[in-house]
A and B are shown apart, each in its own frame.
Chain A
């Protein structure tokens, strides 16, 4: 999944060295495929993409997709030592952390010249409601144009710098984002009503 002799860690440190202030995190995939990816902050996404294309020869963007992460609460059990009635005991505590939702876009990059790939990069929006802008990578990989339009159409991610950001599957005037987790289709299904009775 990496270029010959180059790991994701190498790409990460190279991006951080070349682009001042660029934040790159390694997103570890714990499944057997172990397809790890790089999370790039959205302010430096376009600059990082240019480096990936021009210097890493990642000349082909095969796939652009998006993921909707709704607000969630992570519950971790933490063992802490406390003194109860003068005796030190180990007590399990549940620590709940609220993680605000965000939208994430995923690019799969390949190198045709080196016959390697994919290198997976991700970018995340600030939230799911009003700050949903991400830099468009269409100026770097032309093949991203329609797929970014699809992500805009179905998830509501606004790509800054996209040459022609319109809905691609649904019609103009449609106001919902059907692939979001909280999408509710219109109640035009009478059989659903029958099934509930």
Chain B
């Protein structure tokens, strides 16, 4: 239905929508994050949920202590190599549709600890990330901005057709391999199915 027609109809007290819009509107306003913090970014995440910034305005006030009830994983902080398998396992335990926000420099790339022997160089090596927020740590406003970006992404998702999201394509995985502890580091060092290797991207 065209937007002009919808506007015209609404002037006459007739509300027209599609099932897809209604469905996405409901989903985007009830994204429940997982109660899960890794480092100092988690403090900002907690501040975001409290009265001053109040993430509840966006329908995300219910932090679920179980991954089975969560829709969103906020990777808030440094992911150590010892913690990375647990993070991937928690992600695997979340039901579809599920989303990931990589919060802060560490979760994106390892940040200031990138050269550390026990620091994962970004969680996007193992699980697909929907929104990246830079910052060290990002302010609560930045997390809210990321959350709104995620809401826009959800409301734009189509339920049918080729461009439908991953969780509606049966052939695409919803669980990702959990890395193993190796003798020198995590094995594999990244999941090539998920990770956009900057070297390969540059080579085309």
Contact = CB atoms under 8 A, between A and B. Distances in A.
Interface of A: 169-176, 178, 183, 185-186, 188-191, 193-194
A186 B199 contact: no
Given A175-B184, A186-B184, A188-B185, A170 B118 contact: yes
A190 to B, nearest CB: 5
A176 B184 contact: yes
15 contacts: A169-B82, A169-B118, A170-B82, A170-B117, A171-B82, A173-B183, A174-B182, A174-B184, A185-B115, A185-B185, A188-B186, A188-B190, A189-B114, A189-B121, A194-B199
A171 B118 CA distance: 10
Contacts of B58: none
Nearest to A154: B117
A176 B117 CA distance: 10
B189 A174 contact: no
B122 to A, nearest CB: 10
Contacts of A194: 198-199, 202
A193 B121 contact: no
A191 B184 contact: no
Q: What class of interface size applies to chain B in its complex with A?
A: 10 to 19
Given A169-B82, A190-B197, A178 B183 contact: no
A186 B189 contact: yes
B181 interface: yes
Interface in B104-136: 114-115, 117-118, 121
Given A185-B117, A186-B189, A191 B198 contact: yes
Nearest to A177: B117
B185 A178 contact: no
B177 to A, nearest CB: 16
A48 B165 CA distance: 68
Contacts of B190: 188
A169 B117 CA distance: 11
Contact of B118 (A173, A178, A191): A178
Contacts of B199: 190, 193-194
Contacts of B82: 169-171
A175 B82 CA distance: 14
Contacts of B121: 188-189, 191
A170 B189 CA distance: 16
B189 A188 contact: yes
A192 B134 CA distance: 20
Nearest to A190: B199
Contacts of A188: 121, 185-186, 189-190
